[in-house]
Amino acid sequence: MSKLATPSPSGTGTGTGTGTGTRTSDSDLDVHFHAIDDAEPFYRYGPGGYHPVAVGDRLDGRYLILHKLGHGSYSTVWLARDQTLQRLVALKICTADSCLREAETLSFLRNLSEVDDGGGDGALGRRMMPRLLNTFRVEGPHGTHTCLVTDVARCSLNEAKRRGSHAPLVLPVARAIAAQLVLAVAYLHGKGFVHGDLHLGNVLLRLPEECHLWSNEELLMRCGEPEQEPVHTFDDKPLPPGVPSVATLPVWFPMERINKLPLSDAHIVLADFGESYRPSQESRFECCTPVHARPPENRFEPTKPKSFPSDIWTLACAVWVTLAQRPLFDTFLGTEDTATWMQVQALGKLPNEWWEKWDARLEDFTEEGQPIRADDCPVYTFDYQFNDAIQEGRRKYEMQTMDSTEKEALLSMLRPMLAYRPEQRCSITDVLSSKWITKYAMPDYEVMLTRV
């Protein structure tokens, strides 16, 4: 997600990609669009919003659009052929109202030399940073859009899990991915950056290098023609100018189901630096990760600047859900109250000032923070969650489970990452040197490197 440079125009909001919406343009058109699964919200094709792009368009004189890769609230992302270098690339076309933050962070990281990286495990995280190949701007009917060119990835880990019915990953694969996540965050924190939006939607599985050199014919043979659906408005009102008449759905690179993903395909790249910041240079008060991974200080200390510890909390949630079938603080309805409810179930009572601020606390907890148990409802303790979300699914799929020593090592790493108070949370250096990372995750990561 990229923070807005200017407020979004009235009626546009910050679409989720699923709902319908209203577009109010200068000429006072009031058009509602039928939602199309997996397509961007079309009401965002208005002033400050998405740039209209069609398969076959050429941008910046060299990038031929071949397919769609995805979209977010602040961009559409396209698979293009770089006709100068004759390779496939990802083209992220940001909304006109998004700021330059992502381009700035990626340029900064690109310009660091290996000497700047120093040695040690922290430097290994450079591999998981996106390679910014080029940036340019396009002018369109809705404004000026920054475009970022990076390597094409296969899909996000979230999407791979969704398509695989949230089956668990093979344990060594999950460990290798968790190790890479930790290395990536260690690298960023070492450079003074907070990522600000860590979750599996922003963890991309890499495509093998040879795929970037596929010809157009080879791409079509493997992935098919782009799938398109006509865009319809309610009451059949005409499409306003600057709105594409078809929605292009994301391409799918054929792959093994998530529970069969081989270690050789477990290479990741961390994406979406639109929320990244340097706490030494600016104060940020809000953490925009999805609510199930949002650190509690976001809710209870809204006026205190956020910093590296907020990433540590979200990293713990991302590591958990890499290993598990569902988030640690699964929020069902996606409300902050449910997230806090789950946190108290797993981690115990909030610090006193926060506890007092939480109005819903006595609905299901005693004043001491003990869950009031309904007969048929489990208490979602850390242990319960571990057995239910990590072990049970593995048993069901007849996959390797974690033994008790590994469980202890994992929970001993996660608990200090999930200290309620950010100032009491452990640092990424502590995570890197934890027993679970050194004895379990890194060895599988190292095996993965030999399977390139």
- What is the contact surface with ligand ATP in residues (CB under 6 A)? 1-2, 69-75, 77, 90, 92, 150, 152-153, 156, 159, 201-202, 204, 271-272, 274
Nearer to ligand ATP (CB atom), residue 202 or residue 307: 202
Nearer to ligand ATP (CB atom), residue 88 or residue 263: 88
Q: Least separation, in Å, of the C-beta of 76 and ligand ATP?
A: 8
The rounded distance, in Å, linking the Cα atoms of 381 and 366 is 16
The rounded distance, in Å, linking the Cα atoms of 297 and 152 is 35
Q: Tokens 């998004």 belong to which residue?
A: 98
Q: Least separation, in Å, of the C-beta of 204 and ligand ATP?
A: 6
Q: Least separation, in Å, of the C-beta of 159 and ligand ATP?
A: 6
| DSSP conformation class of 204 | E
Task: Report which of 443, 389, 29 is spatially closest to residue 237, judged by C-alpha positions.
Answer: 29
The rounded distance, in Å, linking the Cα atoms of 299 and 450 is 43
Exposed / middle / buried, residue 158 (Cβ in 10 Å: 0-12, 13-18, 19+): middle
Q: Least separation, in Å, of the C-beta of 363 and ligand ATP?
A: 32
What are the backbone angles phi and psi of residue 120, rounded to the nearest 5°? Answer: 80, 175
β-bridge mates for residue 229, sequence order: 247
Q: Tokens 């799929």 belong to which residue?
A: 397
| DSSP conformation class of 10 | T
Nearer to ligand ATP (CB atom), residue 95 or residue 434: 95
Nearer to ligand ATP (CB atom), residue 150 or residue 434: 150
Q: Least separation, in Å, of the C-beta of 207 and ligand ATP?
A: 8
Asked if residues 67 and 251 have their Cβ atoms less than 8 Å apart, the reply is: yes
92 is in an annotated binding site: yes
Nearer to ligand ATP (CB atom), residue 14 or residue 245: 14
**AA identity, residue 232:** H
The rounded distance, in Å, linking the Cα atoms of 377 and 64 is 54
Q: Coil, strand or helix: which one is 400?
A: coil
Nearer to ligand ATP (CB atom), residue 77 or residue 185: 77
Nearer to ligand ATP (CB atom), residue 252 or residue 382: 252
Nearer to ligand ATP (CB atom), residue 201 or residue 327: 201
Give the end-to-end CA distance of the chain in Å, rounded to a whole number.
31
423: CB partners within 8 A, 6+ apart: 309
The rounded distance, in Å, linking the Cα atoms of 387 and 17 is 33
Nearer to ligand ATP (CB atom), residue 290 or residue 393: 290
Q: Least separation, in Å, of the C-beta of 73 and ligand ATP?
A: 4
For helices 404-417 and 308-323, angle between their N-to-C axes, nearest 10 degrees: 150
Residue 184, token pair as written in the block: 């990536």
Q: Tokens 């009626």 belong to which residue?
A: 11
Asked if residues 283 and 291 have their Cβ atoms less than 8 Å apart, the reply is: no
The rounded distance, in Å, linking the Cα atoms of 407 and 399 is 16
322: CB partners within 8 A, 6+ apart: 157, 169, 174, 177, 178, 181, 200, 203
The rounded distance, in Å, linking the Cα atoms of 157 and 343 is 24
* Chain residue whose CB lies nearest ligand ATP: 72
Nearer to ligand ATP (CB atom), residue 1 or residue 342: 1
E strands, 256-393, where? 268-270
Q: Least separation, in Å, of the C-beta of 268 and ligand ATP?
A: 12
Q: Least separation, in Å, of the C-beta of 376 and ligand ATP?
A: 37
- Positions at the binding site for ATP: 92
- Positions at the binding site: 92
